[in-house]
Structures are given as C-alpha cells and as structure tokens.
Amino acid sequence: MKYLKRIYPWLLLAPIILPVVIWGELIYPYLVPKTLLFYALSFISLGVFGILLSYGHTFYWHRLKRWEAWVPAALLVLAYAASMVGIDFYRSFWSLFVRGDGLLMLTCAVSSFYLIVLSAERTFVTRLLYSVSVIGTFVALYGIGEWLLGGGRIGSLLGNAAFFAGYLGITFFATLAGAQTLSKLWRKAAYSGAVLQVVAIVLTATRGTMLALAVAALVYGAYLALMGKGRRRTWSVGILVAILALGGLFFVFRAELANVPFAPISRIASISTAEGDVASRLFIWKNMFGEIGKSPWIGVGAEHIDVLFNRFYDPTQISEQWFDRSHNAFLDYTAQYGIGGLLLYLALIAAFFTTALRFLRQEKRQYAVIITLLAVTYAVQNFFVFDTISSFWLLLALLAGSFALSIEDTAPYTLPFPSWTQYVSWVVAVALLLLLVPVSLRPLQAAYDLAQAYHYQITDVSKEVQYLSRGFALGTYGDLEYGYEAYDMYANNQASALQGQSRIDAYQATLSIVKTDFNRYPYDARIALYLAHVLVLAPQTESVDQGLLSSALERAIRLSPKRAQPWFILTNLSLIQGNSYPVGSTGRTAGYAAAHDLLTRYIALVPALSEPYYVLAQLEYASGNIKEAAVSAAEGKKYYAGDLETARRAAVYYENILDLPDAAYFLSEVVRFDPTDAAAASDLAKIQSYLSR
C-alpha cells in the first residue's frame, strides 16, 4: 500500500507530459497518442484512488463544500444530459480520433480535477508548477527551432499553431507562478523560460492568443497604475501610455504593416471585417447563433457542432470545407449543451477570479495577480479558438491546485468504510484496467492500422485493404474516421493511380466502409457525399447501386444544401444519361436540360459562387448556346475569388472558345495554385508565346 501512496501523486501529475507525446506511426500523430494516454492515466488514477480510499487514506473532503468545486461536475452532468437527448450519444461519448473531445474526455478531465482537489497540498502544487514550466519551455524551444528551420506558422509538438499558442498561453502564467518560490538564480531561469514561451506564441502568428496576452498586459498595467505607489506607479502609467500609443500607431499604419514579411505582424495588421479569415469567422458566429436558437436550452449534444455548421455552410463565405468547431469556445459550449452549458463554462472561468480574491485576502498578491491574468488570457483567447486535452486538462489542474491552496485548510481526514470495501476496490481497479482495452488499446491498434493503410495505398493495395479491414473490424469509435480517410485515399489517389484488380479491390474496400458509416450515421453530410463520390468513381467493371447513389446525394443535399459537390455529381449524372443517346435525340436533349436545371437551381442558392457559372457555360457552349455561355462565363469571372477548381474549369472553357487572354490568366492561376500541373504550365507557355508575337 505504501507504494501506491507514493506513486499516486505522480499519477495525478503525469498528464503534464502529454504535449511531448507523439508517435509518427499513428494517424494524427500529434493528437491520438495524447488522448489515448490520457484515458489510460485517468483510469489508472481512478483505480488507485479507489484503493487508497477504501484503505483509509486521508483526503481534503471539506474542500468540496465550496461552490466552485461543483462547477465541473455540474458541467459534466449537463453534458451527459444534453447528449442523451441530442443527435447521437455514441458519437457524443467517443468523439473522433482527430478531436478526442467527447464526453469520455470531459469525464476524465473532470475526474482529474477532483482527484487533485482532494489531494493537493503545497508540495504537490509546487511540483505541478515546476513541471509545467519545464515542459512548456521545452515545447516552446522545440517550436522556435521549428521556426528557425522552416519558418511559417509553427505547431511544435501539438501539430497546430492555434493549439500550440493556446497551450503556451496557459503555461506562461504557470511558469510565472512557479517562479515565485524559486531561489534567485532559478527564478531567472524560470523567467527566461516564460520569455521563450511568449516568443514561441508570437512565432505561431496566432492572433487570438497574441490579442489575449495584449489584453492581459493592459489589465496588468492598469492594475499597477491604480494600485502601485511612488516611482513604481509613475513607471506603470508611463508604460501603459506607451503601450496605448504604440497600439494607436500600429492601427494607423496597419495597411503598410500588413505587407511586412513577418507573419505575426502582418496577420495582426491585416485584421478587419473584410479580411478572409475574420469574415469567415464572423459569418460562422452569426449563423451559429441562429442554429443555437433552434435548441437554446439543451443543445445538440457533445461533438455535433459539424451538423449545425453543415446546415449553413456557404462556399462563398467559408474557406474550410468541413468544420467541427465554431472557433469560439463560448459558442461551442452553448451549441452543445445549451445556455446552461455556457453559464457553467463562464462559472468555470469565474472560479479563477474567486480564487484570486481569496489569495488577495491572504496577502498573496503575486498569486492573485497571476491567476487573474491567466483567467483573462484564457477567456480572450478561447473567444477565437478552442481547447485540446493538453490545454483543457492543464487549465483544470491549475484551477484545482490554486483552489486547494487558497482555502484555509483543516486537516485531511478519512471517510469510514467497512473492511469489505477493500476487496471491492481491487475488483473495481482491475475492471478499470480491463476497460483500457476498448478505451485505449483497441483504438491505438485501429489508429496504427489506418496509418499503415495510408502507407500502402498505392504500393501494395492488398496490404492496404488488409489493414483497413482489420482496423475497421475492431469496432472502435474511429469507424467514421475510417470512412473519411478511406474515401480520401481512394478518391484523391487510388482512383487515378490504380488499374485492374488493384483498383477494384481498393474500390470495394472503400465502398464497404463508407456504406457502413452511411447507414450508421444518418446525420453526417460528409459521409453521405463521400459515398456518392465513391460510387461515381466505381471501376467500369463494377455495377453501381443507383438507388444507393440517389439516397446518398439526397441526404448530402438535405443536410448541407449549399455544398457544391453533390449538385455537380447530379449534373454529371444527367449529362452521362443524356450522352447515352444519339446527338439531336429527345433523350440527349432531356439529359442536358436536366443538367441545366440543376445548375440554375444551385446558382439560385449560391449566386456569388464562380465555379457553377463556368460549369453552366461549358454546358451551354456544348449545347450550341454560345451567347448564353458567354453571359454565364462573364458572371463566373465577376465572382471569381481565386481557387484551383474554378481556375481549371474557366481555363478549359476559354481554351475551347479560343479566348486566349482569359485562358492565359486562368492557366496562370492553375499553375499558381498547383505548380506541379505540367499540362497547364505547357498550355500557358504556348498561349503566352502566341500572344507575344
């Protein structure tokens, strides 16, 4: 038992290492290993806690009398309730490989919060802060090295610039807090680590976190200006005025600064309601409010934000094809769990402020200030981004530790349990260990198999099919993701690169998985579209279930009506049907008319999208309607906003009608977006040579 007592505090601290855990042999190597390890650590910690509890180990039970202690539990209960009546509890519970933010993750994070609250004392919290400082500084150094070698926006060991910056936005304050108890030399080292973390945040060019730190700096400056004394107050006022003046100058010259070849400056300077990313986010937030209004009290359940997104997706307003977050944590909580979810999330952040007030009453001013600034930074940055397990667990752990230390403690005590509970605790611990098979080990195998399938998708299709089939048969929560990735391999690589039996094998394996997901997840627009596209890309020797194809297209359009791809597939099917009849026949005319009708209906839905106009222009030109084709092409050119697929369609049209200047322009666009397109580059060179004569 003494060994369990010794190891238990370290188990609670173990998730600190999650940001440095990666494994390249897995699909999504930056996230999957972290989530699966966190599940395992959480289950093991709960098992050890149960054993210690039954054997009379003392815990700080009186801390649970505070209201702040019950906020995470209330949020968890509400999340389960909303998901029970939501779209699909199974998906809500498990989430996806790529995200891992479902109810299981929330359950593990909340349980970790309570285990820390019940156990934390000064030594534990000190170890927590020191460990976070070291790991955060290491991750920052890794990211800085990544930037020095490759430049651009960096993701370090979290794989994504926003995730990386959001994590460091929390570790920075943990490092400052940890420095308060260090000797002079080590304190300087800690402050150096904090500076490196800020440098890494700047290099990510993540505007949300940089803005959050700026707001925190202004809050701190205002605090010193109001509460400081003597020379310190004078300096604080001067620095605050200087910061505001620099901010004003930055705003005045932001047009020039937007062209500076340094992403952190140019991205901040380019912020405006007309800028692409900002306009896209504002459109999403506006429409998310409308979707939330349809179920404001209970939400749609965890991990179903993508369903709401697909309803209002508009390719003229949103650059990303598939979103599963609104890039605003407050909206995400409201959408998933209703207004109660938003209030509890706000209460979670408010708990930092009440904890800071207790530290202030205890004359621990440094901790009060640091905790307040942490809460401000987290709240501001999460207005633009969302958490991963690395940042969310750390937030809860720091809240639990600071909350525990801010309370005037009485001695820990034992809850009386009969002796037979000791045997029960071991049984429960073993059961929790066995649950690691479906929770961590089997998903680990499935993620590995999916990565191997990617590796062999072209070089050895039999192995690819073997890995796909084996991983999918494991029955993990990765089944939907298997459908996404199998489609990606087949549609984007195998359909064009494979021939003969290899292509047939790849098609059949992909179809089997995607069809299974289509039947299992009737609310998922993405898998419906993917199924339709796979069926369209069937090898000539394979018969296609036309009823299934029609059902997939109907669902894809119903769930995401403004998405172009299912409309284009329907148009192509009508053209294929028409082309099966002789030229000039009634059947061919009817097929072309149906295609024309489909395109005009879609254009009426999304009138500012360029691509369908060029599809319509090609159809009208092929039908002999030259003037109508010219009008449609002119509309397409008017709305062209710069994308590869539209540029390709436009280039083909203008080459067909021998409009060489326009053909040259759109071919140059094709080459700009895809420098590997040798055919486009060759055509462009020929046209430019001809025009220069």
Q: What would the mean pLDDT of 584-590 be, rounded to a whole number?
A: 86
What is the residue-averaged pLDDT of the chain?
A: 92
Residue closest to 507 by CA, chosen among 522, 517, 497, 519: 497
Is residue 319 assigned to a domain? yes
Q: For the chain, how many structural domains are there in total?
A: 3
In a shared domain, residues 96 and 200 = yes
Joined together, the tokens standing for residue 693 give 């004569």
For residue 135, pLDDT over 80 is answered with yes
In a shared domain, residues 622 and 544 = no
Please tell me the distance from the alpha carbon of residue 246 to that of residue 654, in angstroms, as a whole number.
50
In a shared domain, residues 276 and 194 = yes
In a shared domain, residues 474 and 399 = no
For residue 54, the tally of other CB atoms under 10 A from its CB is 21
pLDDT digits (tens, 9 = 90+) for 619-655: 999 888 999 999 999 999 999 998 999 999 999 999 9
* DSSP code for 414: P
Alpha helices (runs of H) in 293-388, residue ranges in sequence order: 305-312, 329-361, 365-381
In a shared domain, residues 400 and 541 = no
Please tell me the distance from the alpha carbon of residue 556 to that of residue 578, in angstroms, as a whole number.
24
Residue closest to 323 by CA, chosen among 360, 355, 283: 283
In a shared domain, residues 288 and 139 = yes
pLDDT confidence of residue 441: 96
Is residue 29 assigned to a domain? no
- Looking at 406, 437, 472, the residue that finishes a domain is 406
For residue 257, pLDDT over 90 is answered with no
Is residue 530 assigned to a domain? yes
In a shared domain, residues 218 and 328 = yes
In a shared domain, residues 236 and 330 = yes
CATH of the domain at 620: 1.25.40.10
pLDDT confidence of residue 256: 73
pLDDT digits (tens, 9 = 90+) for 172-194: 999 999 999 998 899 999 999 99
pLDDT confidence of residue 391: 95
| Bridge partners for 59 per DSSP | 413
Is residue 653 assigned to a domain? yes
Is residue 686 assigned to a domain? yes
Q: How confident is the model at residue 500 (pLDDT cuts 50, 70, 90)?
A: very high
In a shared domain, residues 158 and 258 = yes
Say how far residue 270 (Cα) sits from the centre of its chain.
Answer: 23
Is residue 343 assigned to a domain? yes
In a shared domain, residues 308 and 376 = yes
pLDDT confidence of residue 142: 96
- Looking at 406, 441, 469, the residue that finishes a domain is 406
Q: What would the mean pLDDT of 77-84 be, rounded to a whole number?
A: 97
In a shared domain, residues 322 and 177 = yes
pLDDT confidence of residue 236: 73
Q: What would the mean pLDDT of 33-54 be, rounded to a whole number?
A: 96
Q: Which of 46-55, 263-272, 326-335, 501-510 comes out lowest in average pLDDT? A: 263-272
Q: What would the mean pLDDT of 84-108 be, rounded to a whole number?
A: 95
pLDDT confidence of residue 502: 95
Using alpha carbons, list the distances in angstroms from residue 207 to 203, 317, 421.
10, 20, 53
Question: Is the CB of residue 377 less than 8 Å from the CB of residue 173?
Answer: yes
Is residue 25 assigned to a domain? no
Burial class, 687, CB count within 10 angstroms (exposed 0-12 / middle 13-18 / buried 19+)? buried
Q: What would the mean pLDDT of 291-303 be, rounded to a whole number?
A: 94
What domain range is 523 assigned to?
A: 457-562
Is residue 627 assigned to a domain? yes
pLDDT digits (tens, 9 = 90+) for 222-235: 888 777 676 767 77
Residue closest to 436 by CA, chosen among 53, 114, 38: 38
For residue 392, pLDDT over 90 is answered with yes
In a shared domain, residues 397 and 510 = no
For residue 386, pLDDT over 80 is answered with yes
Q: Report the percentage of the chain scoring pLDDT > 70.
A: 99
pLDDT digits (tens, 9 = 90+) for 436-459: 999 999 999 999 999 999 999 999
- Looking at 529, 562, 595, the residue that finishes a domain is 562
